[in-house]
Amino acid sequence: MAATSPETLTLEGGADLKRALRRTERRRRLGAFSLTVPLLLFVLVFFFLPLFKMFWLSIANPTIPEYMPHTVQALRDWSPSTPVPEAAYKAVAEDLKHARADHTFGRIAKRLNEEQPGSFTLINKTAMRISRVDHGPWKAALIKIDKAWGEKPIWRLLKRQSAPFTADFYLASLDMKYNQQGQIVQKPVYDRVYVPLFIRTFWMSAVITLLTVLLGYPLAYWLTALPDRTSNLLMICVLLPFWTSLLVRTTSWIVLLQGHGVINNVLVWAHIIGDQHRLKLIYNQFGTIVAMTQVLLPFMILPLYSVMRGISPSYLRAGISLGAHPARAFWKIYMPLTLPGIGAGGLLVFILSIGYYITPELVGGQSGQFISNMIVYNVQQSLNWGLAAALGTLLTGAALVFYLIYNRLVGAGKVSLG
Amino acid sequence: MKRKDNDSDIIIDELGISRRDFLALGAKTAGVISLSSLGALWTRAAFASSVNTLNVVSWGGAYQFSQVMAYQKPFTKMTGVTFNNIEKAASGPALLTAQEQTGNVSWDLLDILQAPASRLYSQGLVHEINYDKDLPPAPDGTPATEDFVKGSLGGDGKTGGFVPEIAYDTLLSYNKTAFKDKAPQSIKDVFDLENFPGTRALQKIPAGNLEWALYADGVPRDKIYEVLATPAGVDRAFKKLDTIKQDCIWWTQGAQPPQMLASGQAVIASAYNGRIFNAIAADHQPLDFIWDGALYEWDGWVIPAGLPKDRLALAMKFLAFSTSTKQLAAQAKYIAYAPARKSSIPLIGTYYKNPKLEMMPFMPTTPEHLAVAIHKNASFWSNYGPQLKQRFSAWLSS
């Protein structure tokens, strides 16, 4: 580099110092970034991808387009107010023959039955018998197999299911459905499951959160006031159950609370209650609330404790020395300072508890079930993964909304968890 | 089985090709192996080395024990093949569906009920079996399609995915010590809280409970499903269930009802008849059956679709062995479930723990028991199951 201007600093050998510095800087930044790449990939693969997949499952509707392509084609221009064309009958016959040969007609039957009970038999029967029919007219042939083919509801259903995306699963999650005329209506009262369950999940979680605050706040305050050695010992008592398996803690509540459990037996033994009047302490909402409050208590105590540790006792003393009653000083000075702790603990406990599954399953009975128990049912028993995904997406959405509200009120930046 | 010690030879024998053919085949294909098929080959190789073990999924407890004793032990003795028993049958259909979607089926045989088996078959998820060709005839030569009890085989009765092993009952039973003067004898008595007071333990599913409610309400047994298919019939069933709801607790695992009866948590409970039999015969509990309205259905094997050839051949071989006349009869020594083959019935003996106890009177398929039983309608529950389950959950929590 012979033509360097006098202002630029050059290294021995003529290299531009600025550029060299920049290059080194860039290399260092790249090195730092590459250290975070594994984490980034991990979050992408194990967090965002499943979330995206869940959202996708809740709206995707691939069954009918995939297994009944001719029918989808034939119904494209059909409007439910006009008669069903012969071409559509022919397409259904063709598709079901294929599906019978490929053993896929059960997938069609299952999907349609999820929306319209009774479709399972209709499709299975039609697929079995249409294979023996070689030529049209197809309308007559199908109606001969089942007169449902002569009526509108099944065609309306097929037309609706022809779309590659669907709102069906969200409608079902909100206890709504299409009626025979194809309008969206609320389900009859006796069939409403999910909305009442969502409401119950939220209010029971709120009760549990409140209880953890009421129990955790004085304890955390006490822990900060005690000398270090005692407080460390007590901290272990808080953390010990935290380190015990969730399953063990839940089943020990069963041992304590059940009809012939420890508490009832003691009460009967002490003649406080009669043998015939044992208290119903478990397999109901009460059992769920008690067990979950205990399970989630450390999630409240830890953030509260960490916030309280940072508050100097001299603030309170100053308040009192200026003439305030200790209770007033506590309420006006100390309490507001602990709000970020209450906020962080509350958010943690609330969001954890709306997604809880094992504890309600084991001790909740019927009245103490949460929405997650229904999600598991739809994944494992009814195999309606679309519905499970829609419920899961709604639950995730709710958690996000609560987080945003919290962020607005308290501010996520103020939270310190350790 | 010329050489018991070499399992790969057995497999090759089964496929009807010699070792030399096998090697020649390998040499020919070696030239066209592409990079993409290397992965598949690698997994194939991993499985090939483990093909002397069958992954069998069943229900656990006394039932899986009976399968181990009656099928697996003799099969291992005969062929050297070992078994990996998995207790996942309750969520078997869901897990199999998931395995198929991820393209990694790791099970060889799955033991499930007839209704989910037929659903899996119509979705192409289980292997198709030609009953007369793939299953052995009865000892007297009667072909399999005629030897299995009518209606127990899957598909159209000639080919299908389901091979039944046993018929079992979900029935009501009671603790004898709770009823001193008069014991409940019918489903009507179960719904009669005045004369037969006490807690009832029922299974937390609509199937069974709805049928019994209608039956107790006066619907004849052969009309139950007709009535239940109408909205008015469903309302009627739930209204009848309302009358005992306050005195009901709900179970989810087959092991719970005998325990609930024995501990006094319930005086009447619905249960699988084999579990109650075990509680009486093995544990000497003071329990008894109400055979009236017993709900009977079939349980048996399916083989997942798309297994590699060697694994499929071995699974088919075990399937044929386990559902032969002798093995089905042997299972009835261990548990009071009725064999699905007619030819097995005369071979049913006594309880394995008590040589004086004849098993036959405890079977769901004796003429006396069948005369008062309700045949569970698998196709009804395929159509209306999801909706009724939903309504049942809503009813329970209201």
Tokens 């107010």 locate to A81
User: Do A155 and A198 reside in the same domain of the chain?
Assistant: no
* CB of A260 less than 8 A from some CB of B: yes
pLDDT digits (tens, 9 = 90+) for A276-317: 888 889 888 999 999 999 999 999 999 999 999 999 889 989
Does B105 score more than 80 pLDDT?
Answer: yes
User: Do A248 and A153 reside in the same domain of the chain?
Assistant: no
Instruction: Report the residue count for chain B.
Output: 398
Does B11 score more than 50 pLDDT?
Answer: no
User: Do A278 and A404 reside in the same domain of the chain?
Assistant: yes
Q: Is residue A12 part of a domain?
A: no
Q: What's residue B21's pLDDT?
A: 42
Residue ending a domain, among A148, A163, A178, is A163
Residue B116 CA to residue B94 CA, distance in Å, equals: 10
This model's pTM is above 0.90: no
Residue A356 CA to residue A359 CA, distance in Å, equals: 7
Rounded-to-10 torsion of CA A251, A256, A258, A264: 180
Q: What's residue B138's pLDDT?
A: 96
User: Do A355 and A306 reside in the same domain of the chain?
Assistant: yes
Q: Is residue A71 part of a domain?
A: yes
Q: What's residue A164's pLDDT?
A: 93
Q: What is the phi/psi pair of residue A274, to 5°?
A: -80, 160
Question: Which residues of chain A lie closer than 8 angstroms to B385, CB-CB?
Answer: 382
Rg value, chain B, Cα? 23
Residue B270 CA to residue B257 CA, distance in Å, equals: 7
Residue-number span of the structural domain to which A129 is assigned: 62-163
Buried b (16+ CB within 10 A) or exposed e, B46-71: eeeeebeebbbbbbbbbbbebbbbbb
Does A112 score more than 70 pLDDT?
Answer: yes
Locate A182 and state its tokens: 């194809």
Q: Nearest-CA distance from A117 to chain B in Å?
A: 5
Residue A219 CA to residue A222 CA, distance in Å, equals: 5
Residue ending a domain, among A163, A180, A210, is A163
Q: Is residue A24 part of a domain?
A: no
Asked whether B296 and B377 are in contact (CB, 8 A), the reply is no
pLDDT digits (tens, 9 = 90+) for A209-254: 999 999 999 999 999 989 989 999 999 988 888 888 999 999 999 9
User: Do A227 and A370 reside in the same domain of the chain?
Assistant: yes
Asked whether B80 and B52 are in contact (CB, 8 A), the reply is yes
- Among the listed ranges A180-194, B103-117, B131-145, B195-209, which one has the minimum average pLDDT value? A180-194
Interface test with A, best of B102, B226, B383, B392 (most A CBs within 10 A): B383
Report which of B296, B316, B298, B315 is spatially closest to residue B373, judged by C-alpha positions. Answer: B296
Strands B287-302 and B109-113 turn out to be antiparallel
Range list of β-strands (E), chain B: 53-57, 82-86, 109-113, 129-130, 159-160, 163-175, 200-203, 248-251, 268-272, 287-302, 338-339, 350-351, 354-358, 374-375
Q: Is residue A204 part of a domain?
A: yes
- Contact between A120 and B379 using a beta-carbon 8 Å cutoff: yes
- Among the listed ranges A70-74, A409-413, B33-37, B267-271, which one has the minimum average pLDDT value? B33-37
* CB of A369 less than 8 A from some CB of B: yes
- Contact between B379 and A121 using a beta-carbon 8 Å cutoff: yes
- Contact between B123 and A384 using a beta-carbon 8 Å cutoff: no
Instruction: Report the residue count for chain A.
Output: 418
User: Do A205 and A306 reside in the same domain of the chain?
Assistant: yes
Q: Is residue A300 part of a domain?
A: yes
Q: What's residue B6's pLDDT?
A: 39
Report which of A123, A142, A134 is spatially closest to residue A68, judged by C-alpha positions. Answer: A123
Report which of B170, B171, B178 is spatially closest to residue B286, judged by C-alpha positions. Answer: B178
Interface test with A, best of B245, B382, B388, B389 (most A CBs within 10 A): B382
Mean pLDDT value across residues A258-283? 88
Asked whether A337 and A315 are in contact (CB, 8 A), the reply is yes
Mean pLDDT (chain B) is 87
User: Do A112 and A205 reside in the same domain of the chain?
Assistant: no
Q: Of the candidates A120, A193, A366, which has its C-beta nearest B390's C-beta?
A: A193
Mean pLDDT value across residues B215-227? 96
User: Do A155 and A291 reside in the same domain of the chain?
Assistant: no
Q: Is residue A73 part of a domain?
A: yes
Interface test with B, best of A57, A113, A198 (most B CBs within 10 A): A113
Q: What's residue B338's pLDDT?
A: 95
Q: What is the CATH number of the domain that holds A373?
A: 1.10.3720.10
Report which of A307, A323, A124, A320 is spatially closest to residue A213, judged by C-alpha positions. Answer: A307
Strands B109-113 and B53-57 turn out to be parallel
Q: Is residue A226 part of a domain?
A: yes
CA angle A217, A221, A226 (to 5 degrees): 150
Looking at residue B295, the DSSP 8-state letter turns out to be E
User: Do A375 and A280 reside in the same domain of the chain?
Assistant: yes
Locate B188 and state its tokens: 């009507």
Count structural domains, chain A.
2
User: Do A208 and A158 reside in the same domain of the chain?
Assistant: no
Question: Which residues of chain A lie closer than 8 angstroms to B238, CB-CB?
Answer: 190
User: Do A200 and A268 reside in the same domain of the chain?
Assistant: yes
pLDDT digits (tens, 9 = 90+) for A133-169: 888 799 999 999 999 999 988 999 999 999 999 999 9
Asked whether A360 and A372 are in contact (CB, 8 A), the reply is yes
Question: Which residues of chain B lie closer than 8 angstroms to A118, CB-CB?
Answer: 383-384
Residue ending a domain, among A114, A143, A163, is A163
Report which of A105, A138, A131 is spatially closest to residue A119, judged by C-alpha positions. Answer: A105
Q: Is residue A111 part of a domain?
A: yes
User: Do A233 and A340 reside in the same domain of the chain?
Assistant: yes
Locate A369 and state its tokens: 């079930």
pLDDT digits (tens, 9 = 90+) for B116-133: 998 899 999 999 999 999
Residue B29 parent element (H or E): helix B19-30
Classify the complex by whether its ipTM is higher than 0.90, answering yes or no: no
Query: Distance of CA B71 to CAs A265, B77, B81, B90, B326, Å?
Result: 46, 10, 12, 21, 10
DSSP-derived 3-state class of residue B339: strand
